[in-house]
Amino acid sequence: MSSAPEKNTPTAAPGTGPSEGGADAAAPIRVAIVDDQPMVREGFSAILAAQPDMEVVGTAADGFQAVRLAQSSPLDVILMDIRMPQMDGLEAMRRIFAEHGADADAPRIIILTTFDADDYVFTALRDGASGFLLKDAAVPELLNAVRVVHEGGALLAPSITQRVIADYAADPERKWTPSDDSGQPRSDAAAAYDTLTEREQGVLQLIAAGRSNAEIGAELFLAEPTVKTHVSRILQKLDLRDRTQIVVFAYENGLVRSAGR
């Protein structure tokens, strides 16, 4: 097996690089894998490269390499470990997003973790991660994660989702009442939430509960394109980037009830 790449030097996958000619109508999802463990990088690379709709553009062993790889290669999805030497995944993610600014083509980042109770879970989501995936996830879960995130969906491993909900449900200081006539000062989040229509608020609640557009449509008796329109309006009104940020907004502001609601 190949040895770990030299320090601060990302590894490009064989046969990859800038595309030649026009864009393919069925262009594969361009993926990078960032982890300090060679077995993880090689194992995930082999799984993803075997998929006809995915291309492993390169791998990196630390945050510095990840930033350099994102600078040199167009990427759609990055699988990012958190605990790495030199620079951790959180800092690498922040730098990658800072370089892209508000660019809609910024890569989606899935955080890889072996722990479902690390205290960085919510911080990473709030900073722009599109979701979390446990490293021991089954192969179908890994493949689904890449595809879901590439399409703009939110991704949270069930155990992590439950922990986030439990943490925020247990902290009353994080909660607010969207409609409050008591005259008390209202948070910006509460005011923003009240700009949503009743239907949009319902869609937001279902997104936070992990429903897909198809599931939301079935529950609210709406066509899927109509659900997509509501999602777009929610993102615009709340000034959020994607569905994951809707989930973060709901968790952070006490809009998600704990199990048994």
Instruction: Let me know: does 167 contact 117? Beta carbons within 8 Å.
Output: no
Of 67-71, 103-107, 121-125, 160-164, the least confident: 160-164
Write down the pLDDT at residue 157: 58
The CATH T-level fold of domain 28-163 is Rossmann fold (3.40.50)
Amino acid at 10: P
Q: Which carries the bigger pLDDT value, residue 167 or residue 7?
A: 167
Q: How far is CA 10 from CA 73, 96, 114, in A?
A: 11, 14, 23
CATH for 173-252 is: 1.10.10.10
Global pTM value: 0.69
Displacement of CA 156 from its chain's centroid (Å): 8
Asked whether the domain spanning 173-252 has the same topology as the one spanning 28-163, the reply is no
Average pLDDT over residues 158-183: 53
For every residue of 16-39, DSSP letters joined together read -SS--SSPPTTPPEEEEEE-S-HH
Write down the pLDDT at residue 171: 56
Instruction: Measure the CA–CA gap between 73 and 58, rounded to whole angstroms.
Output: 9
Q: Quick check: 16 pLDDT over 70? A: no
Model confidence over 204-247: pLDDT tens digits? Answer: 999 887 788 888 999 999 999 999 999 999 999 998 877 878 88
Instruction: Let me know: does 181 contact 190? Beta carbons within 8 Å.
Output: no
Structure-block tokens of residue 190: 């509460």
Instruction: Measure the CA–CA gap between 78 and 248, rounded to whole angstroms.
Output: 20
The domain locations on the chain are: 28-163, 173-252
Percent of the chain whose predicted confidence (pLDDT) is above 70: 71
Model confidence over 35-69: pLDDT tens digits? Answer: 999 999 999 999 999 999 999 999 999 999 999 99
Model confidence over 174-201: pLDDT tens digits? Answer: 544 444 444 444 467 888 899 999 999 9
Instruction: Measure the CA–CA gap between 174 and 94, rounded to whole angstroms.
Output: 24
Model confidence over 111-127: pLDDT tens digits? Answer: 988 765 556 766 787 78
Instruction: Let me know: does 113 contact 135? Beta carbons within 8 Å.
Output: yes
Q: Strand 29-34 and strand 11-12: pairing? A: unpaired
Contacts of 207 (CB under 8 A, 6+ apart): 154, 216, 231, 234, 243, 246, 247, 250
